[in-house]
Amino acid sequence: MYKIVSRRELCGGIWEYVLRAPLVARAAKPGQFIIIRLHERGERIPLGIVDWDPGQGAVTVVFRERGKTTSQLVREYCPGDVILDVVGPLGNPVEIGRPGRVMCVGEDAWYANLYPLARALWEGGNEVICLVSTPNGSFWMDKFSAVAEVNLIGNPAAALRERLERERPALVWASGSPAMMRACSEICGERNIPIRVFLHPIMLDGTGICGSCRVEVGGEGKFVCLDGPTFDGAKVNWEALEVRLSAYREEERLALVRYFGKETG
Amino acid sequence: MRVPDISVEVAGLALANPLMPAAGPLTSSPKAAERIAATGVGAIVAKTISVAAAEVPHPNIARLPYGLLNCELWSEDPPERWFSEYLPAFKALGRPLIVSLGYKPDEVRELIPKAEPFADAFELSTHYVGTDPRPLYEIAKAAKETTEKPVFIKLSPHVPNIEEFARAAEEGGADGLVAINSLGPGLAIDIRRRKPLLGGEHGYGWLSGPAIKPIALRAVYDVSRTVEIPVIGVGGIASAEDVVEFFMAGASAVQILSAAILEGVKVFSEILKELPNLLSELGVESLRDLVGVVHG
Ligand SMILES: Cc1cc2nc3c(=O)[nH]c(=O)nc-3n(C[C@H](O)[C@H](O)[C@H](O)COP(=O)(O)O)c2cc1C
Ligand code: FES
């Protein structure tokens, strides 16, 4: 059982939850994620660990209220309540190194994933520029601006293209929708700039058993939970990923209808 | 022709160039300010400090097609942290430091002595005054009774009679003005969620960036013709051309915020690079020669 320490709506439909999970908080590294399950019959969903405090034993996740589980979390789970399972930290920590100037492009709730990365890059003596966007408002501008230059942009791919005209980073990171990360990967590809992306496919066990998180990278099958969650954006087979993500769209819609008792969105 | 001179002087502060970050998130922590200092700005203006940390609603900044809408209030960090940790680090950046304080005469009297060891000048926000100019006189007077250093009063544009506000500040003893703060309150609605974009009680926010530039220019023009003290221009500046426009309207230095959030802090270094070229092209030897040339 994992207690919800606090929660707040950061901006239109994007929520920050702080969970008490001391072991996760002690071990977390940038790029890693947890898988949560709300209750016995709940589905498992992966969420990036976007901040953590080993002293308080707390980990922070940020997500957009979108499917059944995130809707239920927001509607029924408040500070003081407990959720059944928090498994993690999962996935491989990002190797920070000393790339020099790094540009991080992020979209919607996914841009929170860039924060621990930006912080670690900054602590490692790199120059970090974050370009972030949501369809409504912004969040964590204060946290980001403590570790990076942060720009509030419109269309991420367009903003990235425009920035790359003016300065050349050693590395680009992207965290957003598959379409956005694909577009950013293409833009970097045209300029021979390496790009890393955060993938977030459907996951179940998070241990490489179920195969539900399979993606194709550089012509090889990879499990996001074991081999990721970050990959070379130039090598990801984006088409295959899109197909996989839409595979359960009908089931996901039905789950939402069942939860709300009516058609939504 | 020689390379045009872009150094300026405002209220006794000699600056290598006219650019400063406006009070706001670009300078809300030492780390953030360090990045701005590295762009070569002529001075640093710190985020507004008040007697208690602000409880800022979320979200507090939204990008609109023509600028930013914000409800950031003042610093979310407690004043003690500013005095013990942040301001010493800001001072170590080695640029003239303008400390922004708010909001009432008593509060300013309390805050100035604590910031005094670090500040080269003070800027007082008057963002939350109504339409009566009297409080500006009082806040300027309170500050000047507390410090010998230059005191700037920052004007907000929501008032119908900004010249009277400028005059009140000057009569209170202010050494200079900063015009303008963001414009508002305004409102933007997320139509899919049927709620305001910004947090807070009504979701109100203040507008900045390109949308307010004409209003800021007009304010600089009006107040610089009204008072003897120098005016620092701010509002929608994003290019060397904009800087020249503000000088022509009557500004003696300029501040920038939104452009650095929308397009990157590179905006400072790019303007610094471009400004001498532009002055050459205009046949101007010194930026100072342009101050108020459109006053006629
Ligand atoms: C996010 C944000 C925070 C701000 N915070 C402050 C502040 O703490 N104190 C202040 O005097 N002005 C503040 N301002 C106003 C700016 O300093 C400036 O006057 C205004 O944004 C106009 O300049 P710009 O168009 O270059 O942004 C803030 C503006 C924004 C957008
Ligand atoms: S989540 Fe099951 S294999 Fe990755």
Per-residue pLDDT tens for A18-59?
999 999 999 999 999 999 999 998 888 999 999 999 999 999
Tokens of B152: 């700037």
User: Which atom belonging to ligand 1 lies closest to the Cα atom of B60?
Assistant: 1
* Mean per-residue pLDDT of chain A: 91
- Closest by Cα among B122, B164, B173 to B145: B173
Distance, in Å, from the CA atom of B7 to the CA atom of B197, rounded to the nearest integer, reads 41
Partner-chain contact B197 A141, CB within 8 Å: no
Helix (H, G, I), strand (E, B) or coil at A68: helix
Q: Which residues of A30-59 are buried (b: 16+ CB within 10 A; e: fewer)?
A: bbbbbbbbbeeebebbbbbbbbbeeeebbb
pLDDT in tens, chain B (296 residues): 689 999 999 999 999 999 999 999 999 999 899 999 999 999 999 999 999 999 888 889 999 989 999 998 899 899 999 999 999 999 999 999 999 999 999 999 999 999 999 999 999 998 777 889 999 999 999 999 999 999 999 999 988 899 999 999 999 999 999 999 999 999 999 888 898 999 888 999 999 999 999 999 999 999 999 999 999 999 999 999 999 999 999 999 999 999 999 988 999 999 999 999 999 999 999 999 999 999 97
Strands (E), A85-126: 85-90, 101-107
pLDDT at A230 over 50: yes
Q: How many CB atoms lie within 10 A of CB B215?
A: 17
Between the CA of A230 and the centroid of ligand 2 the distance, in Å, is: 15
- Closest by Cα among B255, B288, B289 to B42: B255
Looking at the DSSP assignment, which residues form a beta bridge with residue B286?
A: B5
In degrees and rounded to multiples of 5, residue A171 shows phi and psi of: -155, 145
The full set of domain ranges for chain B reads: 8-55+75-183+211-295
What is the CATH code for A101-246? 3.40.50.80
Looking at the DSSP assignment, which residues form a beta bridge with residue A34?
A: A47
- Closest by Cα among A101, A83, A86 to A25: A86
pLDDT in tens, A183-207: 999 999 999 999 999 998 788 888 8
Partner-chain contact A122 B58, CB within 8 Å: no
Q: Give the pLDDT band (50/70/90) at residue A62.
A: very high
Distance, in Å, from the CA atom of A122 to the CA atom of A148, rounded to the nearest integer, reads 7
Q: Judge contact between A104 and A114, C-beta under 8 A.
A: yes
Min Cα distance A102 → chain B (Å) is: 14
Distance, in Å, from the CA atom of A262 to the CA atom of A217, rounded to the nearest integer, reads 39
DSSP A158-178: HHHHHHHHH---SEEEEES-H
pLDDT in tens, A68-82: 899 999 999 999 999
Place of tokens 């509607």: A75
Q: Would you state the pLDDT for residue B56?
A: 85
Tokens of A123: 């602590």
The CA dihedral of B84, B90, B91, B93, to the nearest 10 degrees, is 140
Kindly report whether the global pTM for this prediction surpasses the value 0.90: no
pLDDT in tens, A161-185: 999 998 999 999 999 999 999 999 9
Give contacts of A 115-134 with B, CB under 8 A: 122, 129, 133
Fold classification of B8-55+75-183+211-295 is: TIM Barrel (3.20.20)
Helix (H, G, I), strand (E, B) or coil at A74: helix
3-class DSSP string for chain B: CCCCECCEEECCEEECCCEEECCCHHHCCHHHHHHHHCCCCCCEECCCECCCCCCCCCCCEEEECCEEEECCCCCCCCHHHHHHHHHHHHHCCCCCEEEEECCCHHHHHHHHHHHCCCCCEEEEECCCCCCCCHHHHHHHHHHHHHCCCCEEEEECCCCCCHHHHHHHHHHCCCCEEEECCCEEEECCEECCCCEECCCCCCCCEEEECHHHHHHHHHHHHHHHHHCCCCEEEECCCCCHHHHHHHHHHCEEEEEECHHHHHHCCHHHHHHHHHHHHHHHHHCCCEHHHHCCHHHC
Give contacts of A 125-184 with B, CB under 8 A: 129, 133, 136-139, 141-142, 145-147, 149-154, 163, 166-167
Q: Would you state the pLDDT for residue B182?
A: 97
Rg of chain B taking only CA atoms, in angstroms? 18
* Mean per-residue pLDDT of chain B: 95
pLDDT at A265 over 50: no
**Burial of residue B104, with CB atoms counted within 10 A of its CB: 0-12 exposed, 13-18 middle, 19 or more buried:** middle
ipTM of the complex: 0.79
pLDDT in tens, A140-162: 998 998 899 999 999 999 999 99
The CA dihedral of B229, B234, B239, B244, to the nearest 10 degrees, is -20
Looking at the CA of A228, name the nearest ligand: 2
Distance, in Å, from the CA atom of B237 to the CA atom of B255, rounded to the nearest integer, reads 8
Give the mean model confidence (pLDDT) for residues A93-101: 93
Task: Please state, in angstroms and as integers, the Cα–Cα distance from residue A51 to each residue in A47, A144, B97, following that order.
Answer: 12, 12, 33
pLDDT in tens, B51-105: 999 988 888 999 998 999 999 889 989 999 999 999 999 999 999 999 999 999 9
Distance, in Å, from the CA atom of B71 to the CA atom of B244, rounded to the nearest integer, reads 29
Helix (H, G, I), strand (E, B) or coil at A225: helix
- What is the Cα B201 distance to its own chain's centre? 26
Q: Would you state the pLDDT for residue B214?
A: 97
Q: Would you state the pLDDT for residue A264?
A: 56
Partner-chain contact A153 B193, CB within 8 Å: no
Q: Give the pLDDT band (50/70/90) at residue A263.
A: low
Mutate to test the interface with A, among B28, B34, B35 (most CBs of A within 10 A): B35
Q: How many CB atoms lie within 10 A of CB B185?
A: 16
The full set of domain ranges for chain A reads: 2-90, 101-246
Q: Would you state the pLDDT for residue B127?
A: 77
Q: Would you state the pLDDT for residue A240?
A: 87
Output the residue whose Cα is nearest ligand 1's atom 6.
Answer: B24
Amino acid letter for position B221: Y
| Chain B residue with Cα closest to A127 | B35
Fold classification of A2-90 is: Elongation Factor Tu (Ef-tu); domain 3 (2.40.30)
